[in-house]
Chain A
Amino acid sequence: MANSAVEMPARLTQARSERTAWQKLKVSPNWLGFWYMVPAMGILILFLAYPLGLGVWLSFTDTKIGRDGVFVGLENYEWLAEDSVFWTSVFNTLLYTTVASAAKFVIGLYLALLLNKHLPFKAMIRALVLIPFIVPTVLSAIAFWWIYDAQFSIISWSLRQLGWIDHNINFLGDVWNARWSTIFANVWRGVPFIAITLLAGLQTVSPSLYEAATLDGATPWQRFRHITYPLLTPIIAVVMTFSVLFTFTDFQLIWALTRGGPVNATHLMATLSYQRAIIAGQLGEGAAISTAMIPFLLAAIGIAWYGLQTRKWQQGGSND
């Protein structure tokens, strides 16, 4: 840096007359950052911004597979507004997201607090917790499908052996059973991510803060309430935003387990969109369902952003 500050003016004056605007732009320190960003920007525009824009555009047309559509304005949305299956899927998605995210948060936080204690075989237990996260979703979905099977379910079998029930539970065939079963599978899969991230957050809390709080007379609950929880909120905000986004847009698990059945009882907006657009070929209508998810997702991000903004104690003085 020191070198260039001394040399640059000399070189610039010497070469100024011969350089075109483009040549100057190529070496300008202000533009250098931009040039470095170009590859990443290209990828993002090509694979994220363009498909998103195309999806939104499609939702305003009556495109079908194999036939270009024409602009129809809000017609797709008008159809959807009167479509009870769509509203079921909205209800399902909200239920699925709320219940699963809340359960994942509570269980994940509990696991994180547990794993932060001095346990025997700590490293091994931490690795074990990660397993549901490592197994590909479709694989675990198939495993759950087997666990929930109407005839061969291990749960039904066990309960029958214990004599608690006399016939198999219809996990995926009954409307509410299917909803709770898919939520359970989602929680099982999502907990490790939250637990491990919160554990990382917990480990940044200095143990002397707990000691100070103990001497100040705090009970274990008060230490959690006044030290752990507030210091963890930034991480909680980030991890729960991610969790809500992933759960809201979940597709794999539902598609592998129930395909939205029985009678659309477990259709999420993502699975319904896929079914309408790809299977039924109604690209425009499917795109409209997908686009309808955007406001919900923006709201979730907005809440998390607001949560991150309002913590003054993290900002301010730079000296540590």
Chain B
Amino acid sequence: MASVQIADVRKAYGATQVIHGVDIDIDDGEFVILVGPSGCGKSTLLRMIAGLENISGGEIRIGPRVVNDVPPKERDIAMVFQNYALYPHMTVADNMAFSMKLRKAPKAEIDERVGKAAGILGLDKLLDRYPRQLSGGQRQRVAMGRAIVRDPQVFLFDEPLSNLDAKLRVQMRTEIKELHQRLKTTTVYVTHDQIEAMTMADKIVVMHDGIVEQMGAPLELYDRPANLFVAAFIGSPSMNLLKGTITAAGFETEGGVVWPIGAHPADSNGRAAVFGIRPEHIQLDANGLKAEVVVVEPMGSETQVVARCGGQTLTCVFRERITAKPGETITITPDTNVTHLFDAATGKRID
């Protein structure tokens, strides 16, 4: 196990720069998730840690060692690929043993380690099968088994769950997290799914267009998004963002509705800003703002309502069961302890 330090790392393909100086510190044993929309550079960064891509600038350290010029096989890392990259002509056991066979480990040791990894992942009965004969989830597990057998300093996961169906994805999410808690190996995990990031990570790194937008514990990002991008990206359904101005009375939207807001800097009155409120932080209140119901989506445990207020569309999630029908009016109010304000020009959080 080892820590990973990424310092001012840059990547350019010819004249096109895709990663513009990224700094991330990953502690020993930490589970870090790189998350962002496609094309944000998260997979490229992971491949640079693995050594599959050259580093155009900056420095990556694994443990105490700078690995910029260290070939992949000497970096002591293992990677799980999006398409699993299982060797189709080898059995499950051979797939897992391949790396050890290459470095001519004694057969007894290979058998022991493969057996152990298979035990952890519940693959004991599948060792003689070929990848073709496995289901998606089983292949996923073999890919992880191949990584576990290596007993590396760092695990790298490149969108490992995106080829699985929704139900299996939730199940594998739990399994991967459990595996990490058991092995405590430093893990870097790439995904575009913010729910995966929220549920599994010790630390989330939100990336966008080759820069780090924000980095922190999942709830930290949820509670205090540093900018509009993170605010919109983290959380499901995503945060309502309304344009307008901060006034003494609250936040006046472009539609003329005044929303009550929590504590904000006194000098910010009159400033053009974006008001952010999460759907789950909007409550029903008899004295609240009037909103017209557009769509009601009952989910059982909660009710999701799309409503229109002052010409802007909002998503609200209520714990109560709503009887209102489309076209009817409800009255709502935000929980002023958890409202967010962002500068309209820079998108930065206003505290």
Contacts and interface: CB of A to CB of B under 8 A. Distances in A.
A226 B51 CA distance: 21
Contacts of A299: none
A29 interface: no
Interface residues of A, number: 25
A209 B73 contact: no
A206 B86 CA distance: 10
Interface stretch (A112-120, A124-132, A144-152, A215-223): A215-223
Contacts of B131: 313
A311 B130 CA distance: 11
Given A311-B89, A313-B88, A316-B132, A215 B78 contact: yes
Contacts of A222: 102
A215 B88 contact: no
B72 A313 contact: no
B79 interface: yes
Given A216-B98, A217-B103, A218-B102, A313 B89 contact: yes
A227 B87 contact: yes
B85 A217 contact: no
Contact of B130 (A209, A227, A316): A316
A208 B88 contact: no
A211 B85 contact: yes
Nearest to A227: B87
Interface string A218-238: 100010001100110000000
B3 interface: no
Contacts of B136: 319
Contact of A316 (B52, B89, B133, B150): B133
A81 B97 CA distance: 55
A208 B134 contact: no
A310 B144 CA distance: 29
A211 B102 contact: no
A216 B102 contact: yes
B132 A313 contact: yes
A320 B50 CA distance: 27
Contacts of A209: 85, 87
B41 to A, nearest CB: 18
B73 A217 contact: yes
Nearest to B90: A313
Nearest to B77: A215
A317 B132 contact: yes
Given A208-B82, A217-B73, 6 more contacts: A213-B87, A215-B52, A222-B102, A313-B88, A316-B133, A317-B133
Nearest to A214: B72
